Structure formats: structure tokens, C-alpha cells
Homo-oligomer: A and B are copies of this chain.
Amino acid sequence: MIKAGIVGGTGYTGAELLRLLVAHPEVEVVTITSRSADGQRVDEVLPNLRSRTHLTFSRPSVERLKECDVVFFATPHGTAMRSAAETLAAGVRVIDLSADFRLRDPVRWQQWYGEPHCCPEILSKSVYGLPEIFRDAIRSAELVANPGCYPTAVLLGLLPLVEGRVVDTSHLIASASSGVSGAGRKAQINTLLCEVAENYRAYGLTGHRHSPEIEQILAQSAGEDVRLTFVPHLIPMIRGLHATLFARLHHDTIDLQALFEARYAGEVCVEVLPPGSHPDTRSLRGTNRCRIAVHRPTGRDVVVVLTAIDNLVKGAAGQAVQNMNLMFGLDEALGLNDIALFP
């Protein structure tokens, strides 16, 4: 059994990670930390886990983390980078679900997160945890930077186009929408039900932190600079993330459906839907799948790609477990086979 620790267990990402790990056949969660819930039983704070775990939240302690085989950071940015060095030095592998190790350039990190990166030498060792691109590197990684939710959905939708060099990368467009759980479990007014229910709006148009993360990986895949216009929106629902992606085609004759099917052949967590499909988010709730549909409006030199994920699973905790499975030589989808509820 893999001994796992979770740092930051009371947020939505930490809670989802716990749900997955408690049911994972090869994992034992040995420690879960939370400053706010220190001393409380996990199943009191998270009643969905009643009778499923005897864990108690504890204060963060490096000593206890050192006893783990793998530690997940499900914390706000700025926490993991301060603890990762010591944890890694003890031979513990780290999967960081926050943004601390996603941008390879510490200068860029500082621009977007407003403080200097505290361990650029570790940053250079981190592997970006999108298995559909970096599977081999993840297997042997000590430190995995788990992707953000928007980047996961946008990258999986654009990669075949960018890698295949079939679109104009100077003008990529991503109009994406997320359920409210993406905003986290924080005492704040602007995600109260009364503020977001029966409402829809864009946000972050003046600069969203997921933009540089997406562009970095796209540029790497394209082998050239890439310009993406990224607009996130908030949907009045709990879970689910949908990206509608637009690009201008270089070539009129490319078989886009075949391109996508070939790119994701053999991938267990990505499904290219039949032509004419529209993936919906609800069919993916609780699952670690990304569904993709490719459209080419008649008479246009434009491709429209639709992608859907559960932002807390393939967009966060599930992808972290997928990465853990790879790092420990397990079946990649082990413990990730839930069927979404319908309805």
C-alpha cells in the first residue's frame, strides 16, 4: 500500500482527493492536515465520508509528511513551494495541486503571483502533470505540478491542432466556463448561492493566472510562440468545466476527426466523441475523463473544439491520482472508474 499524505484537506480539491484515495485499492491515507479543522474527525467535517474513514485532521507537520510515500498539496499557492524542498529531501514524492510549480520561469511566476518564487532550483525539476503529454517524465518524477482545471480542458482540446501545425497559432481563442467549485471553499460573498445562482458572467478578462500556464505548454508543443485569447466564465452549478475553442485552419483538407482520434488513441482518460457531438459536463461528474468533440462549421476555415471535464477530478484531484498511479507503476486509471450519476 502506498502511504499518502494530504496537506490542506478541507478545501474542495482536498476533499475530492480524499474521496478518491479512501476508495483507492492501493493507497492508505496516513495523514491529512488542516489548520482550521485540527483535531476534528474527517467524517464530521465531510459527512459524505461518514463510516468510510477514521482519520482526524492534524496541523501540518513535516515529520508526519516524511513518513509518507507521496504527499499531495491541495493548498492555496505559496504553501507548497515553502514545504516541498524538505519533503522531497526526505525521499517523499510530491504532487502539488496548486500553481507553485506550473510555470517554468520564476520571473513569470513572480509577475503573475506577486511574490518571488522561493525555490527556483526545485521548480526546474518539476514535471507538468498532464499525462497525455508528459507521461514518461511523470513516471520518474519526484515532483509533479498538477495542471489547473482550465489548462487541462484547453490544452487537451488544442494540442492535436498545435502539434499537427494545422492552425494559425497567433490567434487561438478559448471561451471556457466553470462551475463554482473552481473558486474554492472560502468564506467570501462573491460565491454565495445568492450571488451566483441564476447568473452567468465572464471574469478575469484583464488577466487570468491560467493564461501563462496554457501558453507555456502550447508553445512547447508547437515549437513556436503561441497567442491565446482566454475568457473564463462562471456557471451557476457546482461541478463541471467546458471549453469552446476556436482556431483558424491553415489547410482546407485536413481530416480533423481523424487527427484527434489518432492523437488520443490509447488514452484511457480522453474520449474523442463521434462527429457532430456536443459533450456535456454532467456525464463526467466525479469521473477523470475529458470528452472532446471537433466541429468544422460549413464553409469556414475555422475549427471549433468542445471539451468537457469535471473541474475537481480531471481538472484537479483525479488527475493528481492519475499522476500518482503513473509515478508508482500502477494502472493509470486505478481508482478512477466511477460512473457519473445520471441524472
Contact = CB atoms under 8 A, between A and B. Distances in A.
A155 interface: no
A203 interface: yes
A304 B202 CA distance: 11
A298 to B, nearest CB: 7
A236 to B, nearest CB: 5
A66 to B, nearest CB: 29
Interface string A20-49: 001100000000000000000000001111
A306 B343 contact: no
A152 interface: no
A302 interface: yes
A342 B246 contact: no
Interface in A223-266: 227, 229, 231, 233, 235-240, 242, 244, 246, 248
Nearest to A337: B23
A27 to B, nearest CB: 14
B244 A48 contact: no
Contacts of A171: 248, 302
A54 interface: no
Q: How many copies does the complex hold?
A: 4
Contacts of A12: 194, 342-343
Interface string A265-284: 00000010000101111110
Interface in A98-117: none
A14 to B, nearest CB: 11
A208 to B, nearest CB: 10
Interface stretch (A75-83, A139-147, A185-193): A185-193
A173 B8 CA distance: 41
A201 B279 contact: yes
Interface of A: 12, 15-16, 19, 22-23, 46-52, 171, 173, 175, 177, 179-181, 185-189, 191-203, 205-207, 227, 229, 231, 233, 235-240, 242, 244, 246, 248, 271, 276, 278-283, 285-286, 295, 297-298, 300, 302, 304, 306, 308, 337-343
Given A194-B343, A229-B246, 6 more contacts: A15-B342, A16-B342, A22-B339, A47-B342, A52-B339, A201-B279
